[in-house]
Amino acid sequence: MIRLQKTDYLQILSHARACLPEEACGLLAGRCEGEEARVEAVYLLENADHSPTHFTIAPQEQLKAILDMRARGLELLGNWHSHPETPSRPSAEDVRLALDPTASYLILSLAENEPVLRSFRIMDGRAEQEELQIEE
């Protein structure tokens, strides 16, 4: 399970909308306790591809985020990205590029009137939805 504060969710949503029609992306940092991860920092990063169908986190921004996490004593929990026109589920490319089976992969769909955010674990070419709780 991964827990995300509503304020962090709203930051992700705002960034994703501001990046339309491109995919938006970023990293998630926090702490793990057993099977539960709690997000304590959300990083809103540049999609270096500037594409509506795929993303690459800008390397310099990724490095800055990782250094900030280390300085704050946080661990990398995973990443997030938006799907401007497709559902909140990993694409074939998302699955192919998911290299860390311990990471959470959050996908925010903006395809419908109401945004949909889901989290996945991806291992051995298979994506499984994991529980995501957005807390006040």
| pLDDT tens readout for residues 11-42 | 999 999 999 999 999 999 999 988 899 999 99
Retrieve residue 113's tokens: 């009137």
Q: Which CATH class is domain 2-112?
A: alpha beta
DSSP H or E segment with residue 74 = none
* pLDDT tens sequence across 48-99: 999 999 999 999 999 999 999 999 999 999 999 999 999 999 998 889 888 8
Rounded distance, CA 134 to CA 119, Å? 11
pLDDT at 35: 85
pLDDT at 34: 84
Task: Evaluate if residue 136 carries a pLDDT over 90.
Answer: no
pTM, entire model: 0.93
pLDDT at 110: 97
Rounded distance, CA 108 to CA 85, Å? 10
